[in-house]
Structure 1
Amino acid sequence: MSSTKGGRAQDRARVAGGQDHGVRYKAKKEGVTTDALKGAVKDVGNSRTKVEADLEKKR
């Protein structure tokens, strides 16, 4: 996991399922609804690669 200049940890490999702005951003980026994204996170966890694969499979 990388860190910011201020020393805070970043984890870009995760989908922020509990933060509305993160969910809206990722849903828009993937071209799906926020409900579909939340469903994928619930099904496969918050790993970005697993969520993207699950969304692709459901298209």
Structure 2
Amino acid sequence: MADDKNLRAPQDSARIAMGEDYEVRYWTEKFGVSEDRLQEAVDAVGHSADAIERYLRQ
């Protein structure tokens, strides 16, 4: 079943899908960062939301 684009939160809250606009909006708001900063974190540590949160707190 395809992701419902009307949802405000990601389908899998453990991973960040940078290819989904609604997920990028959700995570940038949650972490209080720009899309570029979020992408930098994903590039550095992968798609794990926990790892990205730890990276952004550094």
The question of a shared fold, defined as TM-score above 0.5 by the shorter chain, is answered with yes
Q: Which runs of 5+ in 2 are unaligned?
A: 1-10
Q: Percent identity?
A: 46
Q: CA deviation at 1:11?
A: 2.9
- Greater mean alpha carbon deviation, residues 15-24 or residues 42-51: 15-24
More strand by share: 1
TM score, norm. by length of structure 1? 0.72
Partner of 1:32: 33
Q: Which runs of 5+ in 1 are unaligned?
A: 1-9
Higher Rg of the two aligned structures: 1
Partner of 2:16: 15
Number of residue pairs the alignment of both structures matches = 48
Partner of 2:4: none
TM score, norm. by length of structure 2? 0.73
Which string of whole-angstrom CA distances, capped at 9 and with x for unpartnered residues, describes residues 13-50 of structure 1? 10112111101110111111111001100110000100
Q: CA deviation at 1:12?
A: 2.1
Q: Secondary structure at the match of 2:17?
A: coil
Q: CA RMSD in A?
A: 1.1
